[in-house]
Structure 1
Amino acid sequence: MHSLPSLLSMMSQLIATPSISCSQASWDQSNKGVILLLEDWLSSLGFQCEIMPLPAQPDKFNLIATLGTGPGGLVLSGHTDTVPYDEDRWQSDPFKLHERDNRLYGLGTCDMKGFFAIVIDTVRQMALANVSQPLIILATADEESSMEGARALVQSERPMGRYALIGEPTSLTPIHAHKGIMMERIQVTGQAGHSSNPNLGNNALDAMHQVMSELMTYRESLKTRYRDANFVIDYPTMNFGCIHGGDSPNRICGRCELEFDLRALPGMDNATLLHEIEALLPEIEQRTGTKIQLNQLFPGVPSFSTKKESDIIQACERLTNKAATTVAFATEGAYLNQLGMETLILGPGSIDQAHQPNEFMALDQIKPMQDVIQGLIQRYCITPSNENEASRV
């Protein structure tokens, strides 16, 4: 068994291995290099490693690394990809780990390659030769673009641990819920013509005005029907993000497109919302004599919620001395819950630095995160017994 690199060396190697995922093909990259690094390090610690290619993307991979056996246990999960970057806005090379001002800079330091280095460094310091329940390190692909790695795990129905922690950057605050997200496009097709005579065409912009009016009424109905006081914005939101239509003031607009997002609260179902929106359109189509199409821009992410009474939520509240709360950004949490795990989101670094130039993780986040990881491994893998024995941590 070869010796593992130091924590900072592992983080440096992960940062130096590009793994951008993006809907634009010019940016999109394989995550294989990151997966192979993790496999090498975890195998040296005795983990059984399984690399899973994504069904529709053979150059993208999930990694399931397992130590021990049993029906319970703990999953420590993260994604291996990063977002694209603005090279001219970085003060240092985004693919080289730089330490300055008690911070570690690099693309993926907090979101979220740094988490894997912290996990592996923590695990190697623990006596895990005879864990009584499995410890699983899960590394996924394409979280930043399509969530296809997490979706593939759900489709495979692969059983894993009883509890799961996703190490997204939350400033070490336990997160028990977040909203879902759907992104949609509505396209109205009318008939172009000379603007001097409205009878020569059928204005798609006029019809889109009616579409938007119906959507705004629907948005208000959602706000009335659904509320959740756990969220700062305690209602579902719909944002009209961009609109494109027509080409000249003296031509009747023949085509118009609207793109919008909808962020649903826990308990709301994306498929039901999509069906409700679809049901608004045929009447407008008939009334205006246009063709109206609704298309998903991506498959959407479900809302996520784990009960505050869950053992792992309560354990992490004690380990961090922080009450569990909610966030606005989406994660893979709902997918892990679908696999039967009680999941929370908790990790080092701040979401304020994620997706930003000069992304960093503060050094003072590392030791507290390691303490949380040690506490959870001790509770769920080494000495698990009565789940309600709250005094253990």
Structure 2
Amino acid sequence: MDVRFESLDLPLYSPGNYILIAGPCSAETEDQVLKTAKELHEGGVKIFRASLWKPRTRPGCFEGVGAMGLPWLNRVKEEYGMLTATEVANGLHVAESIEAGIDILWIGARTTSNPFLVEDIAHTIAKYDCQPVVLVKNPINPDIDLWAGSIERLSSAGVKRIGAIHRGFSTYADSLYRNPPHWQIPIELMRRYPTLPMLGDPSHITGKRALVPEVCRQSLDMHYAGLIVESHCNPDDAWSDAAQQMTPEELLKVTSKLKLSRLATCPMPPLDAWRTELDQLDENILGLLSKRMRIAEQIGYYKRDNNLSVLQTNRYQIMQQELKQKACNLGLDDKFIHKLFAQIHEESVRIQHKICDEE
């Protein structure tokens, strides 16, 4: 589908000449919203974010203040001249937000995964002559077609200003990040839609405030148009996602030193994209190895408690034969795979011997 995207026409964060949207994960109280907005405004941030509706995995968690928080965001506009942004998950949220004067709406990862909700949101927005900017987060699972489909649904319905947010993807494997970035997926989305503005969401990618600065830098190096980052006046007491939020002071120390390395509209050189994808795959391999060694450790305790031999030669030989066949099916060199898994097996045996020697 041939889709062209209009400029978001959003103010740039002046130290680095990129879009910066910042504010708490959730609007909790009017005082919390205004205090955070004041501190961000004094640091030059022009766009304030706060979620009013919070889709949560399990019941009983804080699910947002809802429409009650819309007047709080209006006070941010009136007192600090900032644009405001919030998440919407259905047509009712859209209507309430637009009629309250919210400037930017984003569609969360769970909602992006549901085409019916995206259709509802798209057709509700299209009814209004004065439309907000709409940003679409990637779906929870690494499915680029689902992400692209949500964007195309909005465009087909007549939504004018659309951007994307890269917030990382869920994973079963162990990872340094809460939601591993899988950079190759947003790179491919940008290749498909060269005029689509992309924003990075380092807060949700990392899940840890200490890791946010590095992913901010990586996002801008990837030619993203900007960042959407969570910032709270007292993050340790936040009602949601406390570990990934930064104080305005901490955030501004990071953002004031960042800048776009090239124009965000320039395509990423293929070599850079491939290297980034390799880095992500290497990280995934490390996560899987870590998980494998922990399972080997559990097996070691079981063998010790049940007086079983650590080294079971028949099992090892069968495993190597199976891996050789699988390597051939995947077009991999079977000698390389033999050497690789010999080293992995040797480390597993070492771990189990160590456990058995603890008696």
TM-score range, shorter chain: under 0.3
Structure (1 or 2) with the greater helix fraction: 2
How does the TM-score come out when normalised to structure 2?
Answer: 0.27
How does the TM-score come out when normalised to structure 1?
Answer: 0.25
Larger relative contact order (CA 8 Å, sep ≥ 6): 1
